[in-house]
A and B are shown apart, each in its own frame.
Chain A
Amino acid sequence: MTRVVVRRLLEMALVMAIVVTIVFVIVRIAPGDPAAMMLGPDATAKDVADLRARLGLDQSLPAQYGRYVWGLLHGDLGQSIFLARPVTQALWERAEPTFFLTLFSILIACGIALPVGILSAYRHGSVFDQITSTVAMFAASIPSFWLGLVLMQLFAVKLGWFQPSGYGGPGASLGERLNHLVLPACALGIVSSALIARFTRASMLDVLGDDYVRTARAKGMSEIRVVLLHAFKNALIPILTVIGLTAALLISGAIVTETVFGLPGVGSLVVSAVLRRDYPVIQGTLLVVAGLYVLINFIIDMLYLVVDPRVRY
């Protein structure tokens, strides 16, 4: 057990090292001088040289890499050029809307997907199963930002139930801030529910045919208890996996959706950083998001290990 955990930890460290290297390389593949690109065509040669020195771009590549990794090991993601503050601080300030948006999207997605997935596996092949499978396929094909716009047009512009955009002014109450999140969270949640529903259905189908389910039925246990207590519990791990990975990948949808709804989250931070070529912010966001993904993956692997002692890597 310990050996497996240590091996997975080492593997995770290796993957993170590659992630760091990719993030470091991305900025260096830019044709031309990143400092000149960031400052735009009006910058003087001295400004460019100053920025090059500040970013360490005047050093050799290995030296730059060493400096970058050294900084990361000390929790330093660099300085944002345009926001004039550390990237960690910029990310932290923008974390709340993204965190709540992801959380609510996942809750909405699970609220739709788990009952639908369980029921369509239970009534495998029925009309309900066929309809929900088609609807899931449809939902998975909708760009979440477009669904967000359509919801905004209907519920915010036409009906006026929700705020069309923003996150309340400074000092807005929590309730007001959450009101702003309803539509974007619905858009992301509906789109993500498709994948979770498909997985739930598949893993429920896998276990519903197992012997212990038959035994439970033979004992005269009620169907609800058989399905929820016995089958669902055992199907839960693959379902948790896909929920975890969806949460990590939601950031991709959140980037565009936050822009649609004018939410001041990590997504809109990175989009404005891209438009202003604020490379340290782009790098920092990439690193944090990829790190979360790797971490969630690791936690899920460990969960497998705890729940199912047969799993040995």
Chain B
Amino acid sequence: MTAVTSPLGEDSVWRGLLRRPPAVGALIVLIAVVVLAAGADFLAPYVPSKLSIANRLQAPSALHLFGTDEFGRDVLSRTIWAGRISLAVGGAVVLVSALIGVTLGLMAGYFRRLDGPLSRLIDAMMAFPDILLAIALVAALGPSAFNVVLALGIVYAPRAARVVRASTLVIRELAYVEAAQALGVPTAVILTRHILRNLASPITVQGTFIFANAILAEAGLSFLGVGVSPDVPTWGTMIAMGRQFMDQAGWIMWFPGIAIVASVMSLQVLGDALRDLLDPRLARTT
């Protein structure tokens, strides 16, 4: 957590990633998932909501690679469309938690007086298990995609804040920051231009892990029926629906689950590789 500036330029980060087979595999899977989700309109073989009662609960076949569900809808197409929602929610959670986390972390790390109270606030927020706090927040705010993003953003903000605080504490003591302070550069400029820029590496690494966790948590919330509206297919709601037919049509719940595992694992592999490359001090211990 003390690696303050990336020892590598952007080019060499890419080159470093490409030299690691697991990271390359993870990148390929992620790109495939993102392309499918983004291009669902063209890439999904069927319209995801097209009912066809005659074709209900069909096992995977050449016509329907992932089989069909209880309404005869194509599971592959639904998995692709659901990916769009699940990834969009995960990505938005990263942005929200980074926004809150960076603000809190910068304040705590830069202003000595705020460090104590803000650190205790972060500790207190970390004491709640992620899904429990998220369902409590969604229960209070009301279930909607926006509120799910907001709730999970709040839940994961302390993780981003901790990393930002730790790095800011180190950067604050560096000579160029002291020089800027001595020259009377306004604090807001120091914070944004001199410190925030150097936080890119730890935030990227942490953001990757938050993305992975957010996908898992969103699936859990949707499964419980307190996530994005149950009518919108997400990987979590698909598993919840498929569960009722597990004795005759297990594929309805298998494939969305496999999609979650593939996305989350790729993000974690990528996060590990990025941490090794951007933060070599940490890499040795984990």
**A binding-site residues for B, Cβ under 8 Å:** 11, 14-16, 18-19, 22, 26-27, 29-31, 134, 137-138, 140-143, 145-146, 149-150, 152-153, 157, 198, 202, 205-206, 248-249, 251-253, 255-256, 259-260, 270-271, 273-275, 277, 279, 282-283, 285-286, 289-291, 293-294, 297
Contacts and interface: CB of A to CB of B under 8 A. Distances in A.
Given A146-B257, A157-B246, A30 B141 contact: yes
Interface size class of B (residues with CB under 8 A): 35 or more
Contacts of A31: 141-142
B224 A286 contact: no
Contacts of A205: 285
Contacts of A291: 127
B127 A256 contact: no
Nearest to A290: B127
A18 B253 contact: no
Contacts of B253: 146, 149-150
B184 interface: no
B124 A146 contact: no
B140 A18 contact: no
B269 interface: yes
A4 B223 CA distance: 44
B246 A15 contact: no
B135 A271 contact: yes
Interface string B59-91: 000000000000000000000000000000000
A293 B131 contact: no
Contact of A252 (B130, B140, B257): B130
B136 A251 contact: no
Given A19-B127, A273-B139, 18 more contacts: A15-B124, A26-B137, A26-B140, A29-B140, A31-B142, A137-B265, A137-B268, A138-B261, A141-B212, A141-B264, A146-B219, A152-B246, A252-B129, A259-B224, A271-B135, A271-B224, A279-B139, A279-B140
A271 B286 CA distance: 35
A16 B127 CA distance: 9
A137 B269 contact: yes
B45 interface: no
B125 interface: yes
Contacts of A277: 139
Given A140-B268, A293-B127, A145 B220 contact: yes
A153 B261 contact: no
Nearest to A154: B250
Contacts of B124: 15-16, 18-19, 22, 290
A31 B264 CA distance: 33
B225 interface: yes
For the residues of A in contact with B, the DSSP-based class is helix
Contacts of A29: 137, 140-141
A210 B131 CA distance: 40
Contact of B226 (A30, A143, A274): A274
- Main SS at interface, chain B: helix
Nearest to A205: B285
B223 A255 contact: no
Contact of A255 (B135, B243, B254, B269): B135
B136 to A, nearest CB: 5
Contact of B265 (A138, A248, A249, A275): A138
A110 to B, nearest CB: 19
Contacts of B129: 248-249, 251-252, 255, 289, 293
A27 B131 contact: no
Given A141-B264, A143-B220, A290-B127, A153 B132 contact: no
B247 A157 contact: yes
Contacts of A11: 120
B11 to A, nearest CB: 27
Contacts of A270: 132, 135
Contacts of A294: 127
Contacts of B219: 143, 145-146
A137 to B, nearest CB: 6
A182 B257 CA distance: 21
A62 to B, nearest CB: 20
A45 to B, nearest CB: 22
B106 to A, nearest CB: 20
Nearest to A253: B131
A194 B141 CA distance: 33
20 contacts: A14-B120, A18-B120, A26-B136, A26-B137, A141-B212, A141-B261, A141-B265, A142-B261, A143-B216, A146-B219, A146-B260, A202-B286, A206-B285, A249-B129, A256-B223, A259-B224, A274-B136, A279-B139, A279-B140, A289-B128
